[in-house]
């Protein structure tokens, strides 16, 4: 298997994505046949153009097929190997990729056999999978693994096939962790495409047209199935490899998960709360971590889907949780379905991005489409009960008179083929059944709290005109911030429009002190991943967010809805006061923690304050707080502010590492957040809500001084500003193809430019940074430069806000490539003699 390169240069394997051809064939009545397998391979071949190859025309990005365990075939081919298979359902089969080096392969077999014995199951035998690699290109051959199938029988403690399926899941995860922890040089070549008593996967770094030639088993008449899932991979700007081909164990996927890093972090944080009565005692702990390192976006979501299905949820239920349709602003959606989505939103954020996903648990098979419908999915039903679903029509040559139904998946919709009932279960029926399965409306009514219902708190601090300028200077405000940022937002409720590009230095190269926000750049949708039109497609966007403790993901109860729901992630001073006053009301308790450090202690003081903030958060959580409010109010000549972004991201990742992040919501009372980019970063690094108190106070001052539209009062100016911030954040999300604040929160859709790796790894974990630079000492120097401007040792003349010069050249402002001297020299150089 080509081991994907380690992170180097501009490449990092954590950003593997796919854009592919996907589909399935299924017989409505569950009738098995080899013809269905051959038809699925024909359909896969028709999607060859949706896959990709590199510089070698005979090396593909990946292709594969998933089908039911073919008992007749397996019984025939294992008999000569000296072991007999039990009846169908009482054994499991897996396909294992392994190194071709015999000693290492044998070491892997021994590790696996020991785990099987420890779990009380029976290892029946191994079978080498016949392959023909004569048609493969050099790249595929270079990393081709050896492949063996392993067969396991029920142990004495197994009660039914689903119980055995869960045990196989535990065995596989234990094996993966044991291999990863081993000292085998080629340990990364061990990979289980499948280990199940229901399904088998054949896949590889192949073209779609190579699959059945490479695996002669697929040509055997005895290999039959009632359904097949197939996939042809297009690896988007990434390296193909054998293990990244689809199908995975539960799904195939055409699309990209744009919020992947956040989804991974939230799942890691949720692990401490996981509990399930479905798994044998102690087995759940053996699965942790749920997500194996180094997987693609599809491999990652497959891990979570597998857990949720094995823990007892129906596949359709899992899909509704993880890829919900646009329900928040849907005026005609049945209320019971809205209640289902609202309840599940309290403990699972959307895995957002363009996605057409086919899914199966081995007993049913179906497909779903993301809320934007950005990947095509069409299906036919024939007279002979064949259902054909694919990324496009025409994958099989079916006479028109034999087709009884044609359809396509619409945005957010789903359909399921239930072979036991012998019919397609449509979206409305399927979701109605799931939405009616529990009293979600009652649970929400009893436990969910709207922000407007929270009792009023103490009156927020009154604006202080005398100290405003000093505090603005301490947080790095400039006159440009007032004129070009706050002014247009407060006047019109719109994010100020500017031209693309800048001729100023990167923050790390600037001679002027910068705010930390300037070291981060937003990432945007590209290649096969389209941005959204958040104006014309406003229905699919959502700005709701929640604060509070999450419940057990696997078996949540009514108390899972016990959260405060916010209509938007930006708070007024009065709304923040409501949250600060919570001290046991209906089970909610907040704790306010300072984001300040002693200026005289420099970088050591800043680092100590960050450590103390994390420790204080741990203590508050242990004491029962479920909302943490980080505040930089109280800045003074002695106390400098910790940048809100640094405090938020550092605490967020500290709690993720401690697996306590889902026990609290994080709110910021921030003096430095003022423009849209700032709010995007704070939300992207885990904040549930932000109160920009100094920006609001600055707008108060601008109203009093007549700097805004005549007749504009304070309340209207504040509401305009908050509206502009929210619209701006939605616009930025849409550029990355993300629809909801809930999925954007913690997703880290940014790149750091000019921050060193040690600083990134500690406070902004897993953020890409191709250009290194400064760390905590240099950042402290910039913070204290602003602080000294606010409280100079020797005041000289009147205190004024600096102009800034970021948007327009000023003699005392930021350097611009195009400045008066540049223009003069250009004019001089082009002057005719």
Helix axes 427-435, 315-322, angle to 10 degrees: 90
> How many Å apart are CA 414 and CA 240, to the nearest integer?
29
Say whether 534 is catalytic.
Answer: no
Which residues are registered as beta bridge partners of 414?
368
> How many Å apart are CA 151 and CA 100, to the nearest integer?
20
Q: Which residues of 273-306 are buried (b: 16+ CB within 10 A; e: fewer)?
A: bbebeebbeebbebbeebbeebbbbbbbbbbbbb
Angstrom distances, CA of residue 220 to CA of 89, 389, 543: 22, 24, 54
Contacts of 820 (CB under 8 A, 6+ apart): 809
Site of tokens 């200026």: 599
| DSSP letters for 428-469 | HHHHHHHHTTS-HHHHHHHH-EEGGGSPP-SPPPPP-HHHHH
> How many Å apart are CA 498 and CA 807, to the nearest integer?
9
Contacts of 421 (CB under 8 A, 6+ apart): none
| DSSP letters for 674-741 | -SHHHHHHHHHTT-SEEE-HHHHHHHHHHHHTT-S-TT--HHHHHHHHHHHHHHHHHHHHHHTT--BH
Tokens representing 528?
Answer: 């096969």
3-state helix, strand, coil in the chain (%, to 5): 40, 20, 40
Tokens representing 691?
Answer: 């109160």
> How many Å apart are CA 409 and CA 266, to the nearest integer?
29
Of 350, 745, 346, 342, give the one whose Cα is nearest residue 562. 346
Of 108, 649, 56, 64, give the one whose Cα is nearest residue 298. 64
Please, what is the end-to-end C-alpha distance for the chain in angstroms? 68
Residues 95, 202: contact at Cβ < 8 Å? yes
Rg (CA), the chain: 29
Residues 71, 85: contact at Cβ < 8 Å? yes
Alpha helices, H only, 272-375: 283-287, 297-310, 315-322, 335-344
Residues 625, 634: contact at Cβ < 8 Å? no
Total Cβ atoms within 10 A of residue 112: 26
> How many Å apart are CA 273 and CA 288, to the nearest integer?
12
Which residues are registered as beta bridge partners of 92?
152
Q: Which residues are catalytic?
A: 20
């Amino acid at each position: 298997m080509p081991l994907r390169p380690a992170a180097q240069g501009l490449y990092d394997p954590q950003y593997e994505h796919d854009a592919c051809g996907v589909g399935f064939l299924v017989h409505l009545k569950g009738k098995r046949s080899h013809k269905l397998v051959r038809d699925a391979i024909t359909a896969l071949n028709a999607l060859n153009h949706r896959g990709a190859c590199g510089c070698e025309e005979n090396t593909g990005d990946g292709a594969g097929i998933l089908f039911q365990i073919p008992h007749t075939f397996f019984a025939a081919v294992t008999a000569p190997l000296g072991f007999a298979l039990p009846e169908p359902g009482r054994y499991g089969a897996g396909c294992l990729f392994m190194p071709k080096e015999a000693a290492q392969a044998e070491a892997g077999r021994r590790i696996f056999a020991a785990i099987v014995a420890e779990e009380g199951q029976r290892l029946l035998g191994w079978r080498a999978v016949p392959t023909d690699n004569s048609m493969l290109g050099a790249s595929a051959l270079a990393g081709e693994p050896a492949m063996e199938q392993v067969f396991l029988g029920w142990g004495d403690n197994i009660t039914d096939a689903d119980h055995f399926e869960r045990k196989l899941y535990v065995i596989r995860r234990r094996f993966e962790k044991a291999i990863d922890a081993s000292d085998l040089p080629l340990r990364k070549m061990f990979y289980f495409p499948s280990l199940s008593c229901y399904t088998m996967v054949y896949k590889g770094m192949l073209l779609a047209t190579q699959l059945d030639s490479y695996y002669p088993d697929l040509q055997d008449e005895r290999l039959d199935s009632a359904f097949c899932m197939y996939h042809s991979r297009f690896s988007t700007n990434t390296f193909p490899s054998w293990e990244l081909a689809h199908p995975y164990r539960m799904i195939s996927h055409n699309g990209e998960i744009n919020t992947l890093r956040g989804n991974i972090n939230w799942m890691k944080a949720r692990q401490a709360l996981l509990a399930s009565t479905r798994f044998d005692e102690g087995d759940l702990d053996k699965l942790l971590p749920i997500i194996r390192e180094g997987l693609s976006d599809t491999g990652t979501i497959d891990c979570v889907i597998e857990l949720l299905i094995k823990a007892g949820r129906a596949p359709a239920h899992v899909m509704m949780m993880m890829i919900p349709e646009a329900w928040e602003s849907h005026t005609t959606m049945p209320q019971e379905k809205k209640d289902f989505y609202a309840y599940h939103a309290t403990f699972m954020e959307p895995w957002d991005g363009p996605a057409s996903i086919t899914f199966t648990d081995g007993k049913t098979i179906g497909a779903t489409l993301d809320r934007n419908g950005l990947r095509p999915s069409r299906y036919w039903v024939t007279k002979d009960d064949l259902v054909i679903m694919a990324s496009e029509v025409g994958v099989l040559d079916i006479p028109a008179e034999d087709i009884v139904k044609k359809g396509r998946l619409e945005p957010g919709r789903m359909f399921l083929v239930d072979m036991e009932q012998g019919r397609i279960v449509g979206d409305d029926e399927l979701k109605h059944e799931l939405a009616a399965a529990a009293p979600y409306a009652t649970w929400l009514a009893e436990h969910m709290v709207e922000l407007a219902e929270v009792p009023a708190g103490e009156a927020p601090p009154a604006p202080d005109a005398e100290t405003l300028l000093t505090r603005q200077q301490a947080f790095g405000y400039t006159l440009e911030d007032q004129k070009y940022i706050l002014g247009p937002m407060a006047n019109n409720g719109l994010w100020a429009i500017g031209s693309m590009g800048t001729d100023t230095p990167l923050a790390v190269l600037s001679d002027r002190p910068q705010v930390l926000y300037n070291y981060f750049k937003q990432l945007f949708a590209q290649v096969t991943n389209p941005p959204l039109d958040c104006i014309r497609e406003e229905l699919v966007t959502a700005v709701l967010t929640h604060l509070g403790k999450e419940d057990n993901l696997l078996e949540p109860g009514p108390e899972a809805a016990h959260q405060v729901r916010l209509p938007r992630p930006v708070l007024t001073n009065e709304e923040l006061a409501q949250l600060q006053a919570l001290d046991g009301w209906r089970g909610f308790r907040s704790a306010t923690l300072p984001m300040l450090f002693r200026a005289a202690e420099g970088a050591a003081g800043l680092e100590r304050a960050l450590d103390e903030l994390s420790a204080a958060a741990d203590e508050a959580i242990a004491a029962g707080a479920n909302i943490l409010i980080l505040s930089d109010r109280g800045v003074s000549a002695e106390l400098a502010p910790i940048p809100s972004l640094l405090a938020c991201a550092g605490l967020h990742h500290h709690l993720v590492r401690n697996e306590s992040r889902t026990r609290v919501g994080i709110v910021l009372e921030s003096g430095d957040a003022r423009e849209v980019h700032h709010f995007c970063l704070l939300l992207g690094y885990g904040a549930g809500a932000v109160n920009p108190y100094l920006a609001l106070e600055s707008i108060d001052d601008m109203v009093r001084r007549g700097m805004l539209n005549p007749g504009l009062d304070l309340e209207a100016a504040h509401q305009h500003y908050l509206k502009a911030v929210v619209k701006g954040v939605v616009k930025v999300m849409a550029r990355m193809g993300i629809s909801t604040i809930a999925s954007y929160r913690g997703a880290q859709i940014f790149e750091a430019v000019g921050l060193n790796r040690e600083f990134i790894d500690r406070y902004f974990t897993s953020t890409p940074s191709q250009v290194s630079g400064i760390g905590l000492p240099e950042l402290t120097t910039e913070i204290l430069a602003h602080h000294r401007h606010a409280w100079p040792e020797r005041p000289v003349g009147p205190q004024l806000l600096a102009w800034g010069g970021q948007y327009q050249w000023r003699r005392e402002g930021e350097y611009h490539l195009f400045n008066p001297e540049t223009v003069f020299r250009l004019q001089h150089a082009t002057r005719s003699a």
